[in-house]
Amino acid sequence: MKTELISKFLEKYGHEPTANYFTPGRVNLIGEHIDYNGGLVMPAAVTLGTWLCMAPNNDNVIRFKSLNFPEEREFPLQSGYTKIGPEWYNYPLGVFNEILKKHELNTGLDLLFYGNIPIGSGLSSSASIEVAMAYALNDYFNLGYEKIEIPLLAQKVENEFIGVNCGIMDQFAVAFGETDKAIVLNCDTIKHKIVDCNLGNYSLAIINTNKPRKLAESKYNERVEECQTALNQLNDEIKLNNLCELNAEKFALHSHLITDPTVLKRATHVIKENDRVNLAAKALNEGNLTEFGRLMYASHQSLKDLYEVTGIELDTVVDFCADYKYVIGARMTGAGFGGCAIALLEKGKEEDFTKELTDFYVNRIGYPAAIYISEIGNGASAI
């Protein structure tokens, strides 16, 4: 891949790059709709991701080009920038804007991006681009940012420059990922621990439903509001900063305070899902992939029945996986209402799995899903 990209860079710019970087996408293995409730998530970096090749120029401009998008843009090197339209280059441009608040860059740059993360799939292509740009600038110009500062900077870009009110999980996972490791991240404190995630005889199958995610944003905001309602009602009797300060046992003592049955379902999912992350970390540390797979299925069932964010497409994928004997666990990952599911698939069964799932999915949904096989890989790095 690196050799091919260098060739493409030469073709587009007339000279070779002087630095090359890779930043992965991510999946969340378990712990869904927990981040805005102050709880635990378990993301891992995947081997799909974003490549960035770059070289200085003498023209005092920043040139953005991509092998994925036709839009190209050139900006003069200046002290700050504002978002321009919806185009892809706003993500790296926002990183320049943030870094230029503290640092002066003394040369223009020619940039070429390429990614093999399916756009809009929920594997965090935007965070991958942002962290790639921040990591590259920090490394190339020796800006002195600590590792933890890179995802925090990228999150700030997403929140303030792009205008998406996301949490820290995506940027953190693509910066801190490690091969055959998962990250247990406390979204309230940003404290984290690395847990073994050697999948042994299994690969990570990523199944993109290819459903347009039109409902995701509005329903996401609705779920945030429902969780806030639950928190407010619980605070009539106990003092909490977020729902995930309760475990299931303590929640049972106070759940009578939540008067709306729908809101109670949402809160119940959050509390139990947070507990599932701890159980999943224990299972992985013990090498018990069967138990981890069971927890994945339980997570999906909760997201379907209690949180109601799955939809027929994601449920169809997980229904197939539950009956396919070479899969030991599957669940939706991301916000839901489309996007991706993940499954632990026995190695050597990829071709059969792809064919049978495709037939099953097309028969029920009417169009095919896209299936990718990945390992759990490293975070941002120079290559």
pLDDT at 316: 98
Just list the catalytic residues. Answer: 170
Nearest by Cα to 320 from 360, 350, 359: 360
184-195: pLDDT as tens digits: 999 999 999 999
pLDDT at 213: 66
* Model pTM above 0.95: no
pLDDT band with cut points at 50, 70 and 90 for residue 218: confident
- The terminus-to-terminus CA distance of the chain in angstroms comes to 11
294-342: pLDDT as tens digits: 999 999 999 999 999 999 999 999 999 999 999 999 999 988 888 899 9
Within 10 A of 120 (CB to CB), how many other CB atoms are there? 16
pLDDT at 216: 61
Strands (E), the chain: 19-30, 40-57, 61-66, 73-76, 108-115, 181-186, 192-196, 202-208, 327-333, 340-346, 370-374, 381-382
Is residue 229 helix, strand or coil?
helix
Residue 128 has pLDDT above 70, yes or no: yes
Within 10 A of 70 (CB to CB), how many other CB atoms are there? 7
Q: pLDDT above 70 covers what percent of the chain?
A: 98
Residue 118 has pLDDT above 90, yes or no: no
Give the whole-angstrom CA distance, residue 383 versus residue 378. 12
Residue 9 has pLDDT above 80, yes or no: yes
Q: What is the DSSP string of 274-337?
A: HHHHHHHHHHHHTT-HHHHHHHHHHHHHHHHHTS----HHHHHHHHHHHH-TTEEEEEEESSSS
The mean predicted confidence, pLDDT, of the chain is 95
> How long, in residues, is the chain?
383
pLDDT at 121: 67
Residue 19 has pLDDT above 90, yes or no: yes
